[in-house]
Amino acid sequence: MTIGIGGAGSKIAAKLDSQAILVNVSETELNKVPGGARRILASVHATRGQFRGSRKNPQIGLDAYQSVRRELLELARGNMVFCSSGGGTGNGITTGLLQDLSQATDIDTANKTFFGIILPYAKLESNEFVNNTIEFLTGPLAEAIDSGNTGNIVLFSNKKKFEEKLSEDSYNQQLVESLKLFLSIPDKNDVYRLLDGHIDHEDFALFISKPYFNHFTFLEYDPAIPFGKQLEANSNPLLLEPEAAIEALFLLEVPRGGDPSMFYDILEYFSEKNVSPIYSVVENPDRQKPFVTVALLYSRKPAELVDDFNRITEQHVQAKVKKSLDQNVVLHKLDVNMEQEARRAVKQRGDTEDVLATLRRLGKL
């Protein structure tokens, strides 16, 4: 089951799963999302909020979480949750969910929740989105990771969307297709002829239940080029860049009649990194070239992610200040002889010298 929280999370969940459950504080926003199945309206105190949404305020989303808390906690167990960290609804409701999961004591492997979180592109998106994200990373997300009560956390980045000027729908479609490739790994082990190793549904579920960040990617594999170089050149542009892997998983698909022994080169690469991956090699007759799908689990602390966001935000602010200063107009001092100006005004108006006397009395002359 897939759950989408807020506008961004709901659009992705609905594209990924036709039976997705969508959650929002705004009935209007819920009805805008095509696809998906059941819709849950989280109640806010102000009636107008049901139409206006959370207005980038995570506190509104967090307050609304209380109205769906019990139901959402039950639905999230063992399933996937998608949200954005920058807005109010996705951030706020997910904050409440993460806080409750952090305090839980009875979450077994099968009930761990997989989170997909969309991060703003700090260079081009608003400071509100970035500041909301910083609070989200340092607060509820950090606590949840430390508790060990979540599954994998995938950090999607809006960077590609903004740099390539993609429409939201196009970006979401790319994101979903990327996810589907990763999630199809156990199904391919069922469908295709197995040549070496094995990743069944139980193995895969155990892997995604671990409380680490997950960077998954895929590439056409050329055995003549070191795997490490190919992996480095093919990190997933839709995700935040990964750190050094703690654990890994890969599926190698070889064409019909291809040499399956090339997987040893991939194993050697991970061995040099002190990582023992779970893996599978299958024969896929639809492939013309070897194809690798790989997932790297890493434990970069949210504080380090926040440092990155703070650095980018500070650079952004400094650039704005510099631009403002560059555009500043310098007003030169204008020297005015008040007596001369007063005499000119008196002459033009035909007034008496009373104006001059008044100016002298006021200390202006």
pLDDT digits (tens, 9 = 90+) for 77-108: 999 999 999 989 999 999 999 999 999 987 99
Helices 89-103/6-16 angle, 10° precision: 80
Query: Does a structural domain hold residue 234?
Result: yes
Query: Does a structural domain hold residue 317?
Result: no
- One domain for residues 202 and 294: yes
Dist. CA 260–CA 218, nearest whole Å: 17
- One domain for residues 97 and 132: yes
With CA atoms as reference, report the closest residue to 297 among 273, 266, 263, 264.
273
- One domain for residues 213 and 292: yes
pLDDT digits (tens, 9 = 90+) for 47-80: 554 556 677 899 999 999 999 999 999 999 999 9
What lies within 8 Å, CB to CB, of 302 at 6+ separation is 137, 138, 141, 142, 145
- For residue 260, give the DSSP letter: G
CATH of the domain at 204: 3.30.1330.20
Number of folded domains in the chain? 3
CA 304 to chain centre: 15
pLDDT value of residue 199: 97
What lies within 8 Å, CB to CB, of 335 at 6+ separation is none
Strand ranges inside the chain, DSSP E:
2-5, 21-24, 39-41, 80-84, 114-119, 153-157, 193-197, 213-220, 247-254, 278-283, 291-298
- For residue 328, give the DSSP letter: P
pLDDT value of residue 307: 73
Dmax over CA atoms of the chain, in Å, equals 112
- One domain for residues 224 and 142: no
pLDDT value of residue 349: 63
Do you know the residue count of the chain? 365
Dist. CA 94–CA 89, nearest whole Å: 8
Dist. CA 57–CA 132, nearest whole Å: 8
Residue ranges making up the domain that contains 245: 184-299
pLDDT value of residue 237: 96
Query: Does a structural domain hold residue 96?
Result: yes
Pull the structure tokens for residue 103: 């305090």
- One domain for residues 258 and 354: no
pLDDT digits (tens, 9 = 90+) for 274-316: 999 999 999 999 999 999 999 999 987 666 677 776 776 666 6
| Strands 39-41, 2-5: pairing kind | unpaired
Dist. CA 10–CA 41, nearest whole Å: 12
pLDDT value of residue 126: 81
Dist. CA 208–CA 77, nearest whole Å: 13
Dist. CA 112–CA 76, nearest whole Å: 8
Output the CA angle 237-128-28, nearest 5 degrees: 85
- One domain for residues 139 and 251: no
Q: Report yes or no: 55 and 23 within 8 Å, Cβ to Cβ.
A: no
Kindly give the residue spans of alpha helices, DSSP state H, lying in 33-167.
Answer: 49-52, 58-65, 69-76, 89-103, 127-136, 142-147, 159-163
Residues of the chain with pLDDT under 70: 45-53, 301-304, 309, 312-339, 341-343, 345-365
pLDDT value of residue 124: 85
- One domain for residues 347 and 243: no
Q: pTM for the full model?
A: 0.83
- One domain for residues 248 and 216: yes
